[in-house]
Amino acid sequence: MKDRKVTPDMVPVIKLARLKKYNYARIASYFQINQGRIADVMKGRICPDIPPAMSLPPDFPMA
């Protein structure tokens, strides 16, 4: 299975979810991406200049 790419639209949600203490697995599952891509966003390797979202999407799973 090929790993999906992280898009700039995903990055703010990933950052906010991590600030809210969501674990990598739950975030990765929501976006159907590898947990390593979550780490790449959080380490600044993907879209480092994009700030966190103001709120999570309504369909985002509860913590």
Tens-digit pLDDT string for the chain (63 aa) = 567 899 999 999 999 999 999 999 999 999 999 999 999 999 999 999 999 999 999 999 986
pLDDT in tens, 46-58: 999 999 999 999 9
How many Å apart are CA 14 and CA 36, to the nearest integer? 12
DSSP class of residue 19 equals H
Three-state secondary structure call for residue 40: helix
- For residue 8, the one-letter residue type is P
Contacts of 5 (CB under 8 A, 6+ apart): none
Chain-centroid distance, C-alpha 27: 6
pLDDT at residue number 4? 84
Burial of 38 (0-12, 13-18, 19+ CB in 10 A): buried
Write down the pTM of the prediction. 0.93
pLDDT at residue number 2? 63
